[in-house]
Structure 1
């Protein structure tokens, strides 16, 4: 009697995962095969147990089928099924739809251990779009509406770790992209976690910005419009880029780090037109306030 080929079942399982990925049902990539290496020992052990027991082989097939269903609908590879169902699920992208009755956005974001890039959203159909090549977790979501202004509070974490990783911790190096609709007047409070962060505020109708630095390099590009900005340095360097056509009203409080201002930036106390009111307080790292022409994104 011919034995059931467990190698064949293994190949069918991998083929199904790749097929579902190509059809857009789940997110599964060739590099993810590296994370399935323990299956080699599982199938090897099953092959030793089954022997000539054909009925046990079909039981294994049933178990593999149930495992595939679990991966598709409940694991990290199938998490697109749970998008937009609120906090508590993992995502590769998370969207908050744009609504006509929203006249302003009061947004508070804190991040965990990840590299972060924040910039204007090109897709005007959404108010907020968060995406990454690796899974992330919305740990907290608070929504409040008052007089046409929407208040959102988000805590964005990387995928929670369960056990050691044999192939390294490269997930934390892959950035989380936070994109916000620039057509809505914005008040933003941003709490940086562990990792580099770049906040490109150039295109926003920014009313005020409050940034608390974390551990890592922080770069902030300010818009060419009057606004109030408050920055607290953390453990790492902070670079703030001021547009050439704007005047800076600066107040600074020095901590352990130094605060330096580019001589080419025009400074003036008071005034209303073309003035950015900037308040900075250094942490352990240095804060540099530079003219925008010093660097182009």
Structure 2
């Protein structure tokens, strides 16, 4: 008599991810509320500042699925650091931190490959090493001596030299750019540049037919982005004496461009990653373009100004003041539709937020 024995193999399945589905549900709900104009004006700008939570959620998701311990702890720590930067608790810019310290992700990957996922001991070891790496990351960012940044401030000025109008072009790789009216008599532009030792400011100016042409750029070793923080950049004032055409370009950082108190009639404010704030004049003629590939745009509009804002957006949250209307891709301030003198602004934000603020 033979006896048959059956063997059952048990396959242990990895826990199913729940974090990314929840993120998709949350994103869909927020987008729906935005299209229904239910969200308050400042909600989208606040949400955009929380983008580092993606790193935190991703790290938690990895820990939950046991996809590695050291790497996911580092991801969580990185996200917390970026979030602290966006909330103003760390002076270094979040995008600057991301650009400078991205090799930590390679370290995280290598630690997970080295330790593996063999059991409780390897898990505890991975978490411990991850915390050590996170502590080192925080120390490098928070310690100015470790960051190795020496910002050198110097005065800058460019006289008009007889120009009756001018084109101004400012180009900065990383940092902050602040621009407003108020230059002294006879000056086209003046102010202070604060740059690290690996960058220097160059200026090229010529006057032809009464039109001045100025190009200011920071040149040098831009591959390392040493110690990028909010203290690094340009703080300039423009003349009000002559009409101006303005172009600013910043790769990563923050721009604050105030056109009130100037005669800027054409402006192009461009950025790859970061935040651009543009303050419009109360009256006059203006054809402006604001472009941010990833980040946020804030338009500050004087009360009573007639403004038409043409948008080209993708995954973008838009918040409008009371009384503003939207027709297709165009946004109008109260009374702007059909008005004779309208300030025109084109905004391109493929990913991020657009917030319009009415000034008193």
Q: If the length of structure 2 is used for normalisation, what is the TM-score? A: 0.49
**Contact 1:134/1:171 (CA < 8 Å) preserved in 2?**
no
Give the corresponding residue for 2:351.
284
Unmatched 5+ stretches in structure 1 = 1-76, 78-89
Distance 2:338 2:247 in 1: 24
Give the corresponding residue for 1:151.
213
Taking a change above 3 Å as real, the CA distance of residues 137 and 171 of structure 1, as seen in their structure-2 partners, is farther
Distance 1:130 1:257 in 2: 34
Q: Kindly state the Cα deviation for residue 247 of structure 1 after the two structures are TM-superposed.
A: 0.7
Q: Kindly state the Cα deviation for residue 171 of structure 1 after the two structures are TM-superposed.
A: 6.2
1:227 matched to 2:286? The reply is yes
1:213 matched to 2:280? The reply is no
Distance 1:228 1:138 in 2: 28
Which residue among 288, 299, 308 is the counterpart of 1:249? 308
1:266 matched to 2:324? The reply is no
Which residue among 173, 180, 187 is the counterpart of 1:126? 187
Question: What is the number of equivalent residue pairs in this alignment?
Answer: 198
> Which string of whole-angstrom CA distances, capped at 9 and with x for unpartnered residues, describes residues 114-160 of structure 1?
11211123422421114135455225x44343331112222235x74
Give the corresponding residue for 1:181.
239
**Contact 2:167/2:246 (CA < 8 Å) preserved in 1?**
yes
**Contact 2:166/2:243 (CA < 8 Å) preserved in 1?**
yes
Q: Kindly state the Cα deviation for residue 187 of structure 1 after the two structures are TM-superposed.
A: 0.9
**Contact 1:250/1:269 (CA < 8 Å) preserved in 2?**
no
**Contact 2:275/2:292 (CA < 8 Å) preserved in 1?**
no
2:315 partner SS: coil
> Which string of whole-angstrom CA distances, capped at 9 and with x for unpartnered residues, describes residues 35-81 of structure 1?
xxxxxxxxxxxxxxxxxxxxxxxxxxxxxxxxxxxxxxxxxx9xxxx
Taking a change above 3 Å as real, the CA distance of residues 211 and 270 of structure 1, as seen in their structure-2 partners, is farther
Worse-matched range after superposition: 263-272 or 148-157: 263-272
Taking a change above 3 Å as real, the CA distance of residues 163 and 184 of structure 1, as seen in their structure-2 partners, is closer
Unmatched 5+ stretches in structure 2 = 1-149, 324-332
1:214 partner SS: strand
2:350 partner SS: coil
Q: Kindly state the Cα deviation for residue 102 of structure 1 after the two structures are TM-superposed.
A: 0.8
**Contact 1:98/1:124 (CA < 8 Å) preserved in 2?**
no
2:246 partner SS: strand
Instruction: Select the structure that is richer in helix.
Output: 2
Taking a change above 3 Å as real, the CA distance of residues 97 and 290 of structure 1, as seen in their structure-2 partners, is same
Q: Kindly state the Cα deviation for residue 283 of structure 1 after the two structures are TM-superposed.
A: 2.5
> Which string of whole-angstrom CA distances, capped at 9 and with x for unpartnered residues, describes residues 173-226 of structure 1?
334212211222111111122111111111111211111123222211111123
Distance 1:195 1:278 in 2: 21
Q: Kindly state the Cα deviation for residue 245 of structure 1 after the two structures are TM-superposed.
A: 2.2
RMSD, aligned α-carbons: 2.9
**Contact 1:258/1:282 (CA < 8 Å) preserved in 2?**
no
**Contact 1:249/1:267 (CA < 8 Å) preserved in 2?**
no
Distance 1:177 1:150 in 2: 21
Distance 2:354 2:168 in 1: 24
Taking a change above 3 Å as real, the CA distance of residues 91 and 160 of structure 1, as seen in their structure-2 partners, is farther
